[in-house]
Chain A
Amino acid sequence: MARIIVVTSGKGGVGKTTTSAAIAMGLAKKGHKTAVIDFDVGLRNLDLILGCERRVVYDFINVINGEASLNQALIRDKNCNLLYILPASQTRDKEALTQEGVGKVLDELSKDFEYIVCDSPAGIEKGANLALYFADDAFVVTNPEISSVRDSDRMLGILSSKSRRAERGEEPIKEYLLLTRYDPDRVKNGEMLSLDDVQEILSLQLLGIIPESKSVLTASNAGVPVILDEKSEAGQAYADIVSRYLGEDRPHRFIESKKGFFSKLFGGKK
């Protein structure tokens, strides 16, 4: 039986797809057979972030409609043979996603996979609701910025009331905070909400902080999940997150600025 993780945020552009790709790769690299599903029908991007856009033949909607088998649609990742990608449909309407169809696909995947990562679209429409409906765990991706924190809080309300677990009165979805694009220097200068500020409002279990990092863009340019860039801070932060999620004890990093005296004087670059 697979564990189903939804990567969600409400707000767009905070790093859901980057996070989905990174943690799915991280779990697979640790030896867990993992599938990552793009729920953003009509605006798929996970295939680009994972660098498999030219290998997409069939998609999630084809599987739901019985036009292709799951095995035909799943793309095996080129970097890790335990990671499989189920791309979203680029041409179909979002209405093609149905609760019954999504449930069937997840059931079938559950037989063969250890983890299923659901990359939610932004917003609180059908795609986002279905991405979280079957989840066991929720990774709430939040930027230290007011609109993102507000939308995350809204998502928490939806997670606790509109999921299958909530409807069945089962143990609620386990919610974790991933604070992304964090800039400790700006926090120190009072220009950015701190981890404590965000936690005072959301009070979630912190899975990790991903510092603002140029490597995220260079990784997406190349179609390689940033977690494989082991030298980058963002890559290390995601690796920590995967380890913590799997129960390993990793102290939190990237909360404080680690710039030295000289870079402070001369405005060093990250």
Chain B
Amino acid sequence: MSLLDYFRLSKPKTAPLAKERLQILVAHERSYRNQPSYLPQLQQELLEVIRKYVNVEQNAISVNFEQDENQETLEVNIVLPERHSPTDKGVTVNE
């Protein structure tokens, strides 16, 4: 930084922005890190089975894997189309 810089308008600080972007990104990527590698295939196969009985969209099924100190939880959430059940749309299976 030279004398001239003192007379220029101060530049916006970009480091805090970098840090914020990183924190969000890293938290997101870490949540995927410990997931078992079979999850995408499991999701695909479950979808195929469900489609034998109900016509659901590709994105109607979500598979989440969570881990804490005591247990690992696999949460499968399937959203059925509206006409099948007007009230309860979700089926949750915990393992």
CB-defined contacts of A76 to chain B, threshold 8 Å:
none
| Complex interface bits, B49-89 against A, C-beta within 8 A gives 1, otherwise 0 | 00000000000000000000000000000000000000000
Answer whether A265 and B30 are a contact pair too, CB < 8 Å, given A146-B18, A197-B19, A200-B19. Answer: no
CB-defined contacts of B22 to chain A, threshold 8 Å:
146, 149-150, 193, 201
Partner among A150, A189, A192, A197 whose Cβ is within 8 Å of the Cβ of B1: A189
- Range for the number of chain B residues in contact with chain A: 10 to 19
- Tell me the smallest distance from the CB of A184 to a CB of chain B, in Å: 12
- Within 1-28 of B, Cβ neighbours of A (below 8 Å) are at 1-3, 5, 11, 13-16, 18-19, 21-23, 25-26
B29 is an interface residue with CB less than 8 A from chain A: yes
- Tell me the smallest distance from the CB of A264 to a CB of chain B, in Å: 6
- Tell me the smallest distance from the CB of B70 to a CB of chain A, in Å: 19
A187 is an interface residue with CB less than 8 A from chain B: yes
- Within 171-196 of A, Cβ neighbours of B (below 8 Å) are at 185, 187, 189-194
CB-defined contacts of B11 to chain A, threshold 8 Å:
189, 191
- Tell me the smallest distance from the CB of A255 to a CB of chain B, in Å: 15
A253 is an interface residue with CB less than 8 A from chain B: no
B19 touches A193 (CB 8 A): yes
B-side residues, CB < 8 A to A, are 1-3, 5, 11, 13-16, 18-19, 21-23, 25-26, 29-30, 33
A-side residues, CB < 8 A to B, are 145-146, 149-150, 153-154, 157, 161, 185, 187, 189-194, 197, 200-201, 264-267
